[in-house]
Structure 1
Amino acid sequence: MLERLDDIDWERLGHAYGTAEDVPEQLRALRSPDAAIREKARWQLYGNIFHQGTRYEATAYAVPFLLELLADPATAEREELVGLLAAIAVGYDEQWLPDGLPIAEHRQQAAGGAELLAAAPHPGDDDFDEDEGDAEYLASLSEDDQDRLYTHVVVAAYDAVRAGVPLLRTLLASEHDLELRVMAGYALSWFPEEAEGSLPVLAGAVTEALEVGATAADGPDHTVLAATALVAIGLLGGAPDPALLDDRRPLVRWGAAIGLARAHGPRADPAVAAELLGWAGGESPSDDRVPFLDGDLAGFAGQALAQLGAGRTVETFDALLRRIPAVSGVEALHVVGEALKLAFPGGALTGDVPFDALDERQRRLVRQLADHEQVWRIDGSYFGNFRLLIGEYGLPDKYVTLRSYAGQG
């Protein structure tokens, strides 16, 4: 296993912390009998070949070995490897939901990037700066060329994972490990170019999961598999069975509504909007068994409502405002982010706009943000990412300042 690792000249490949010579040891550690060693290796790989969502030249080279490990039933925590592979393929899924990954656009943006990467200095080259890496080379490129180079690296990593789509289908269809099957379905949703082969497997998983859920008195809850596969079907351009909107199981109705909103958009049945509005404006907690948006079911529902068109704007905005008192941290980014889009369709405020000059919808949102301090917080502290989100719309980015702006300070 992993015999071909030594065939790669890792010392000439870069990742977040320089040369990738440490990657083979980390990949081998994923086979360790010690769970702590395996966990550390995954943490290290997330940090170097997928550093805060960034992919590197070494990333694509590591993927075939991750797939080799995934294919072996003796490998522990295979669901974790699928999660890493999906992250390598798409980055953070919040960037692309609810519409799915625009891979065709990425391929266009990557044109010419391979040549730029080949011309870049690599570790071991005479012109490679051990301290600065390829920073000088990148600085010599135009912004467009920098984008081409990086997008090429991203697409190369994506295509390396795409080679594992047949394996992911097999895992979804034949494995008994529910969590592994869920992660395989999630990963398949990001490869629209492979939709023709993936949609029947996902549909089969839905049927099986619903049958198991209807007959099993105890044991694992297969509705999470059904819901994940239903969302994946929508992201790949398919359409779930509308009859599932009447299913007695809430998670199944959620997945069907998400998938149908993606499939039909403004033409979706009113029952889709009704289901999504119930989730978006309710107080349902997240369910981290569902991989999309880290299980933020209400946040995903709020995003999916936007696919139903302008005719649902008023209802959607009202639902999002109702949800605000129940969220904080990352969930607040999803809910308030969608509300801001609806309240400020023209983008950020310009100049010093007094509160009284805002329109009614904007004032309602600002008041809600001023009334609920917890929406600004994560783990008891003010959340920097949330402040950045508020500031992007030209609003005061501190809670006390926003309260004063709204006349509530």
Structure 2
Amino acid sequence: MDPSALHHLTTTPWATLQHAYGPATDIPTQLLSLQSPDRQARSDAYDQLYSNIYHQSDRYEATAYAVPYILSILSNPAAPDRPRLFCLLLDLALGIPAEALPLGVKARSTSARGVSTWRDVPDGQVDYGLVAYDAVRAGVPLFWRCLEHTEDDGRVRAWAACALAYFPSEVNSNINADTNRLLHLMDQETDIMALASIMITLGLLLSSQNDTLSLQDNPSRTSTISRLHTHSTNPHPLLRWAAAVALIRLGHHSSENVDVITRALTDPSFIPAEFHVVFPFCEGDFGKYSAKILKGLDLSVYPGVVPAVLEALPRLPRPDALNLAEVTMELAFGAMPGDEDEDGDEEEEKDDDDDDRHPEQMSEIQRQTVMALAEWDDDEVWAMGILGGILEEWNIPGGSRDECRRYIGLSTLSVRTTFTKSTTVRNTELDWVMKCQGLSSDQRMHPQN
């Protein structure tokens, strides 16, 4: 252990610092336990730290003080659970890293003002999220070393590349040299997950730069785009997907790249299961990241995306299909009315709910979307009210299947079996309901090692 890190741990006045539950006197023990030879002790320490200094994605006065010690553990190549350390650091820095995607973090020279926070901070109060971001940003040189240490586990290099993507201000002053540095690492990387992570990082970092840098004429940018195009035809689906993600972010993509993103959204088996959950970006949820990307495109240029998603719905397990139904509605209709202006007041959002959307005002793709959902032949989905709830978020009647069919101009079924909502809902379906209500367990608290 670095003596300066141990000195920091023992001299910090933890009793005067606050975390989610009061004085932070228990933090030193938890930090020390991250290096325990006992796996369960380490797991317990992670859970306790998340609860104390990252409670419900909030950061606290004590959060930033824990960061230097976590970085010191990470600097030891023999330290256990290093991917999990990276995950913890990025959560502390960003709150919910996935919320910064697909655009990434805005480059700032002296502060993290481009980072979104969990909630507004009143004037005169300290934004502990930004303080934590700056504390983690001090680890960027270490992240580079981890990425360049080829003896490391490929998962460590994948996480190191991901971490660099969220600190563009550290690259902004030397964009050509750092881009070439990443390109060199990309060319020599043999681990699939690390290579995919480097590609996405290149797309995020280059796209974060200021337009005044004339990046369209930047040779390192041109070289990056050329290399990414090469990987866009790679036989491995994860590499094709990562290249497509980066090219779309850089605005140099083709319809084939959009097709790859659409495939990752509609076919959970497209990217091998071994990469799910453990991939650093977006918690390894390739469908979620793909949906974020597609929502940012002008889908009138890619008219096949929504029909492809609708075609996939019947083939998916019910929870996955319900999740994709919500994505499809957002692709066809835009952001959910209540999400369009997060700063708008509550009363205005309620007023929007009273304005039903009329079928004659819909585009053809919108009508096709509602018709496809109205024809969803699953009594339990309608009886549980989940699908109807999704439709009603966009002010489309969804009280029952027949109501939705009448609304969109389809015939109703004259003979139907009345389905009583079961008192027992399968765990997977209950998880989906909880997710919609913001109650699902936070995977960031238990990242895979």
The reply to whether TM is greater than 0.5 is: yes
Residue from 112, 122, 141 that aligns with 1:166: 141
Which moves more between the two structures, 195-204 or 238-247? Answer: 195-204
Q: Which residue of 1 aligns with 2:261?
A: 276
Q: Which residue of 1 aligns with 2:430?
A: none
- Per the normalisation by structure 2, the TM-score is 0.69
Q: Which residue of 2 aligns with 1:127?
A: none
Q: Which residue of 2 aligns with 1:132?
A: none
Indicate whether 1:305 and 2:294 are aligned: yes
Which moves more between the two structures, 31-40 or 296-305? Answer: 296-305
Residue from 181, 197, 205 that aligns with 2:185: 205
1:375 CA drift (Å): 12
Indicate whether 1:319 and 2:308 are aligned: yes
Q: Decide whether the 8 Å contact of 1:27 with 1:41 is kept in 2.
A: yes
1:39 CA drift (Å): 0.9
Indicate whether 1:155 and 2:155 are aligned: no
Instruction: Tell me the secondary structure at the aligned position of residue 61 of structure 1.
Output: helix
Q: Distance in 1 between matches of 2:258 and 2:369?
A: 22
Instruction: Tell me the secondary structure at the aligned position of residue 55 of structure 1.
Output: coil
Indicate whether 1:262 and 2:263 are aligned: no
1:54 CA drift (Å): 1.3
In the TM superposition, what whole-angstrom CA distance separates every residue of 1:300-342 from its partner, at most 9, and x where no partner exists?
2333234443443522222332344426658965x44542333
In the TM superposition, what whole-angstrom CA distance separates every residue of 1:24-56 from its partner, at most 9, and x where no partner exists?
110011121211101110111111111121111
Indicate whether 1:231 and 2:200 are aligned: yes
Residue from 228, 231, 237 that aligns with 1:244: 231
Cα distance change of structure 1 residues 301 and 57 upon mapping to structure 2, 3 Å threshold: same
Q: Decide whether the 8 Å contact of 2:107 with 2:114 is kept in 1.
A: no
Amino acid at match of 1:353: D
Amino acid at match of 2:262: L
How many positions carry a matched residue from both structures? 356
In the TM superposition, what whole-angstrom CA distance separates every residue of 1:96-128 from its partner, at most 9, and x where no partner exists?
211112465984589xx9xxxxxxxxxxxxxxx
Indicate whether 1:71 and 2:51 are aligned: no
Q: Decide whether the 8 Å contact of 1:343 with 1:362 is kept in 2.
A: yes
Aligned-residue Cα RMSD (Å) equals: 3.6
In the TM superposition, what whole-angstrom CA distance separates every residue of 1:139-182 from its partner, at most 9, and x where no partner exists?
xxxx96527746x2111111111100110111111142111111
Cα distance change of structure 1 residues 368 and 144 upon mapping to structure 2, 3 Å threshold: same
More helix by share: 1
Q: Which residue of 2 aligns with 1:117?
A: none
In the TM superposition, what whole-angstrom CA distance separates every residue of 1:330-382 from its partner, at most 9, and x where no partner exists?
8965x4454233322375364262775672434443454452769979xxxx8
Q: Distance in 2 between matches of 1:208 and 1:374?
A: 53
Indicate whether 1:94 and 2:104 are aligned: no
Amino acid at match of 1:229: I
Q: Distance in 1 between matches of 2:178 and 2:388?
A: 40
Indicate whether 1:49 and 2:53 are aligned: yes
- Per the normalisation by structure 1, the TM-score is 0.75
Of structures 1 and 2, the one scoring higher in RCO (CA 8 A, sep 6+) is 2
User: Counterparts in 2 of 1:373-392, with a 5 A limit?
Assistant: 392=393
Structure 2 spans left out of the alignment, 5+ residues: 207-220, 338-351, 406-411, 417-449
Q: Distance in 2 between matches of 1:69 and 1:187?
A: 16
Instruction: Tell me the secondary structure at the aligned position of residue 36 of structure 2.
Output: coil
Amino acid at match of 2:165: S
Structure 1 spans left out of the alignment, 5+ residues: 114-142, 213-221
Indicate whether 1:351 and 2:350 are aligned: no
Q: Distance in 1 between matches of 2:64 and 2:98?
A: 22
Q: Distance in 2 between matches of 1:202 and 1:372?
A: 50
1:236 CA drift (Å): 0.9
Q: Distance in 2 between matches of 1:94 and 1:331?
A: 21
Cα distance change of structure 1 residues 146 and 79 upon mapping to structure 2, 3 Å threshold: same
Indicate whether 1:185 and 2:161 are aligned: yes
